[in-house]
Amino acid sequence: MPGEGQIFYQTPEDQEEFKDQALLQAEAVCQRRGARLTRLRRRVLEILWNENRPVGAYYILDILRDERKGAAPPTVYRVLDFLVEQGLAHRIERLNAFLGCRTPDQPHTAQFMICKVCGLVAELHNEEIDHAVHVAASEVDFTADISTIEIEGVCPKCREAGKGLAE
């Protein structure tokens, strides 16, 4: 059906099943691109995949400080920048947080559905939305390079439980 995209929900079960595969895929992506997935970069990516929600840089920093001396915010931000640049992670601006990308080997833009009740994030890849953004940009003589769309609402699980609905 036109307009449909692939949706990736970040649930604990989903996350656990995908984590090991994602790390192997990240190594392969970096190798193909000539980028180095250092131990620290891999560890930060592991932290992202160990969580069932987007996490902030300081959350990651707290974990790293427990594991190694000298972990500092600039180091974590540099690693996160690398992961985002390589397409291995996404930054969710609204939450000022990061999550692992499920399809790092496929260049793409993504739309994120953020549940305002439980914090679940669904990553949607919808080419029609991408196309509409580029058409709208070109209508005002603008070239869109990067597009991230974040939509807040209520996920199916919370909706079924009657949470987050207007009284």
70: left (phi over 0), alpha (psi -120 to 50) or beta: left
CA 133 to each of CA 89, 94, 148, 150, 160: distance values in angstroms, whole numbers, following the listed order: 22, 19, 10, 13, 32
Tokens of 158: 């919370």
What is the reported pTM? 0.81
Read off the pLDDT of residues 50-96 as tens digits, 9 standing for 90 and up. 886 889 999 999 999 999 888 899 999 999 999 999 999 999 998 89
| Rg of the chain on CA atoms, in Å | 17
103 within 8 A of 109, measured Cβ to Cβ: no
Secondary structure E strands in 72-117: 89-92, 97-100, 110-115
- Parse the chain into domains and list their residue ranges: 6-160
Question: Can you name the CATH fold of 6-160?
Answer: Arc Repressor Mutant, subunit A (1.10.10)
d(CA 34, CA 119): 35
Binned average pLDDT, 10 residues per bin, the chain of 167 residues = 46 66 90 95 93 89 91 95 94 91 79 88 86 92 85 90 72
